[in-house]
Amino acid sequence: MRNKTFAGIDYFRLIAAFMVIAIHTSPLSVRNEGIDFLITYCVGRIAVPFFFMITGYFVLAPYVLSNFKKKSPIHKYLVKNIRLYLIVTAIYIPISVYSGNMPHSIMELMKQLLFDGTFYHLWYFPAAIIGCILLACLTKKSILAAVYFSIIAYVIGIFGDSYYGIIENVPFLHTLYNGIFFVSSYTRNGIFFAPIYILLGMFLAVPEFHCRENICKWGLVLSSLLMLLEGWVTYSLNLQKHNSMYLFLLPVMYFLFQLLLNISGRVPAWIRGGSMMLYIIHPAVIIVVRGIAKVTRLTKILVDNTFIQYIFVCILSLIAAFCIQVFLERGNRNVPKRKSMD
């Protein structure tokens, strides 16, 4: 069991991972596509920004608040995530080959590795890594420079995402965004999307940037309703190229993260790493479930009924994530620690 700290954050890691699975299975579309969009592709979009904010709070903030002397959290984070990204990329190569998603040129390979990910969920890793590096450099020069960059980048990004229809028919902007999409298929990446949420997480490590709990609760309710309205309007008007970035997602995350920080308690030790494992393995589990459905001729139940598919994928992914995480933790405990040279 972990110490009595950040229970709200750690439990929400698991919830956020289930939200990502929902995004990749559309569980409510079997009943109503409109409701599925609002719940899955609006509410569910808080998942990835939440993970970015964790990076800002636990990784970037210690570096900045130590007057840029405490480099170990950033160094450990980057080494761990680059290594994990490369390992997971290698693991998913057979699936990428099977699905015909392998790059056909060096340029396409670099595009996938740096922005898109070599499998559809792996874009998160280069986004978090690049966003963290960018902000580590910018904040050292000037906190204000980091703020300005993050805001401007997010505005540019949002017009390549949920508000793309507004600029699509403006020749100059259309050409500009085509250039962006040549390098990265979407603007939800480490340049336009991740920095503002990593920075927001960093700021919330400073108590002066917090607001009263009652304000957070009402702020979360109001901003969530406005985000749902924003999502529905951009969806209904067919403005969206993608639907990861919303204006009102920012205040939603600001209020939500604070409320989660206020929740304390004990959390099972496997949840922190298990939630990331859940994120990593769930696409493979989706393929397994669909394969089982095909072999057993239960496609109508396990695939066409997206809600049942979602439940099955969640259960199997959770069991697999738990087993893998427990195995890794036991392995780490059995590895002898290096003695200090001091």
* Residue 244 sits in the same domain as residue 277: no
Structure tokens at 211: 């607001």
What distance in Å separates the CA atoms of residue 150 and residue 135, rounded to the nearest whole number?
Answer: 9
3-state secondary structure the chain: CCCCCCHHHHHHHHHHHHHHHHHCCCCCCCCCHHHHHHHHCCHHHHHHHHHHHHHHHHHHHHHHHCCCCCCHHHHHHHHHHHHHHHHHHHHCHHHHHHHCCCCCCHHHHHHHHHHHCCCCCCCHHHHHHHHHHHHHHHHHHCHHHHHHHHHHHHHHHHCCCCCHHHHCCCHHHHHHHHHHHHHCCCCCCCCCCHHHHHHHHHHCCCHHHCCCHHHHHHHHHHHHHHHHHHHHHHHHCCCCCCCCCCCCHHHHHHHHHHHHHCCCCCCCCHHHHHHHHHHHHHHHHHHHHHHHHHHCCCHHHHHHCHHHHHHHHHHHHHHHHHHHHHHHHHHHHHCCCCCCCC
Mean pLDDT of each 10-residue bin along the chain, 342 residues long:
72 97 97 96 98 97 94 95 96 88 90 95 97 97 97 98 96 96 97 98 96 97 98 97 97 98 90 93 96 94 96 96 87 56 36
Q: Is residue 174 part of a domain?
A: yes
Domain that holds residue 253: 41-265
The answer to whether residues 110 and 245 belong to one domain is: yes
Is 305 in the same domain as 285? yes
Residue 269 confidence (pLDDT): 83
pLDDT at 106: 93
Last residue of a domain, one of 240, 265, 290: 265
> Do residue 238 and residue 107 come from a single domain?
yes
In a domain, 23, yes or no: yes
Give me the pLDDT at residue 326, please: 86
Burial class (CB in 10 A: 0-12, 13-18, 19+), 76: exposed
- Domain assignment of residue 177, yes or no: yes
Instruction: Give the model's pLDDT for residue 176.
Output: 96
Residues 226 and 139 in one domain: yes
Residue bearing tokens 């709070």: 57
Q: Do residue 199 and residue 295 come from a single domain?
A: no
Q: Report yes or no on 35 lying in a domain.
A: no
Residues 257, 273: one domain? no
Nearest to 23 by CA among 46, 43, 49, 41: 41
How far is residue 279's CA from residue 121's CA, in Å, rounded to a whole number? 8
Angstrom distance (rounded) from CA 43 to CA 246:
11
Dihedral in degrees, nearest 10, Cα atoms 140, 58, 221, 32 = 110
Instruction: Please tell me the predicted confidence (pLDDT) of residue 339.
Output: 46
- Distance in angstroms (rounded) separating the CA atoms of residues 224 and 230: 10
Which of these three, 237, 265, 293, is where a domain ends? 265
Q: Is there a domain that residue 227 lies in? A: yes
- The pLDDT of residue 100 is 80
**Residue-level pLDDT at 335:** 56
What is the number of domains present in the chain? 2
Token digits of residue 340: 């200090």
Q: Are residues 78 and 216 in the same domain?
A: yes
Asked, for residue 340, whether it belongs to a domain, the answer is no
> Is there a single domain that holds both residue 188 and residue 154?
yes
Phi and psi torsions of 48, nearest 5°: -70, -45
Are residues 4 and 79 both part of a single domain?
no
pTM for the model: 0.94
210 & 130 share domain:
yes
User: Does a structural domain hold residue 33?
Assistant: no
Would 341 be classed as within a structural domain? no
Which run of H or of E encompasses 311?
helix 306-334
Same domain, 94 and 129: yes
Residue at a domain's end among 265, 280, 295? 265
